[in-house]
Amino acid sequence: MLLDKLRRRSAKPAAAAPATPADAEAAALQARYVAWRELNPVGRADWPPAAEDVFGEAVAIPDIPADQLNDAALAAALRIKGGVVVRGLISEAKADEVRGYVDKALGLLEDQRAGRPIDGDAGGQAAWRHELRDPDTGELVGPQWRADNAMFGGECSAGDSPHIAENLVQMYREIGLTQMIENYLGEQPAVSLEKWTLRCVPPTTNTSWHQDGAFLGTETRTVNVWIALSECGVEASGLDIIPMHFDEIVETGTGGAYFHWDVGKDVVEEIKGDREVLTPLFKPGDAFIFDQFALHRTGVREGLTKDRYALETWFFAPSHFPKDYHGILV
Ligand SMILES: O=C(O)CCC(=O)C(=O)O
């Protein structure tokens, strides 16, 4: 594993052994950040990978059980379709556990923002909230991103919780997802502080159509794994998806768009023609896997009554990483 090799190769003197399990978790996550920063990645020369339409022409967005997700299905979903819905990517029990992490992380973030003392390391046993810092300088990683996001509630980065981050990294490995994404990207992937999001969305949240590539960049090589952690699509917001494959960024900032990178309703209507917007019903553990071109939005509508929990993880090829983002090698 590249991360282990980098640790072994490091010329720096070994740091003192972490004093507590929480310190060890915080140090492990910092090591992933340093490993990303010290990479000199060479991108896969034959990008994009070849893909064959294993789902058939009639299918716009495939909807498959987790045991049918493999290298060929992932490549077809991302290169030919508009993404793939994967049922039971993680177990319902694991989704429940991760939903608990979201509550814990958001609670600590709220305490911090309110100036309340936070117990971010549960007595030294688990590093629940330790904002990611550069181990060489002690500086906070991503200060600009932090300032820009200070007004957003209901979400926080897994990269600021070493305990959660390490657990998730292990989870992705155990289900074979990291390896599959590495096969697709052709490089050991990195997630990022900025787009590794634990989320609890209230029924009244704002929404707008967008492609993440409008700010992640079209040249970025990426796979986003969005996992529902609570039932959604009826009483809680799911995702609205335009069931088409895109390989470019459509017009933004016009026709009622909210942000300059959003796509206005009128533009969406014109693009989708007579296609129906897809709003899958997700159970905890179901996922939607897509890239920066998928046109989608949070599925907010009248009559929603429940909060929705989700975990969103953008995996990136380090060689084609979004500008100004901070990576965590996984
Ligand atoms: O979880 C959500 O509703 C938001 C997902 C999304 O649209 C995004 O982050 O790009």
Phi, psi of 190 (to 5 degrees): -120, 140
As a whole number, mean pLDDT of residues 295-313 equals 97
Q: Whose CA is nearest to atom 4 of ligand 1?
A: 298
Atom of ligand 1 nearest to the CA of 297: 7
pLDDT, one tens digit per residue, over 85-123 is 999 999 999 999 999 999 999 999 999 999 998 888 888
C-alpha 117 – ligand 1 centre gap (Å)? 30
Task: Give the Cα separation of 172 and 305 in Å (integer).
Answer: 31
Q: Whose CA is nearest to atom 7 of ligand 1?
A: 297
**In the chain, % of residues over pLDDT 90:** 86
C-alpha 223 – ligand 1 centre gap (Å)? 14
Q: Whose CA is nearest to atom 3 of ligand 1?
A: 298
| 15 pLDDT tier (thresholds 50, 70, 90) | low
In this structure, the strands spanning 327-329 and 155-157 are unpaired
- Fold of the domain spanning 2-41+60-329: Jelly Rolls (2.60.120)
* Residue 6: predicted pLDDT: 45
C-alpha atoms less than 13 angstroms from C-alpha of 79 in its C-beta half-sphere: 16
As a whole number, mean pLDDT of residues 56-64 equals 96
C-alpha 298 – ligand 1 centre gap (Å)? 6
C-alpha 293 – ligand 1 centre gap (Å)? 13
pLDDT, one tens digit per residue, over 198-208 is 999 999 998 99
CA 263 to each of CA 152, 268, 273: distance values in angstroms, whole numbers, following the listed order: 20, 7, 15
User: Residue length, the chain?
Assistant: 330
* Residue 119: predicted pLDDT: 81
Q: Whose CA is nearest to atom 10 of ligand 1?
A: 212
Atom of ligand 1 nearest to the CA of 296: 7
Task: Give the Cα separation of 86 and 180 in Å (integer).
Answer: 14
Atom of ligand 1 nearest to the CA of 239: 3
Which amino acids bring their CB within 6 angstroms of ligand 1?
A: 199, 201, 212, 239, 296-298, 310, 312
C-alpha 143 – ligand 1 centre gap (Å)? 22
Indicate whether 7 pLDDT > 80.
no
* Residue 8: predicted pLDDT: 43
**Degrees (nearest 5) of the Cα angle 9, 28, 127?**
165
Residue 261's CB is within 10 A of a number of other CB atoms, namely 17
As a whole number, mean pLDDT of residues 126-132 equals 95
Domain residue ranges in the chain: 2-41+60-329
In this structure, the strands spanning 262-263 and 190-192 are unpaired
Closest C-alpha to 124, from 31, 213, 25: 25
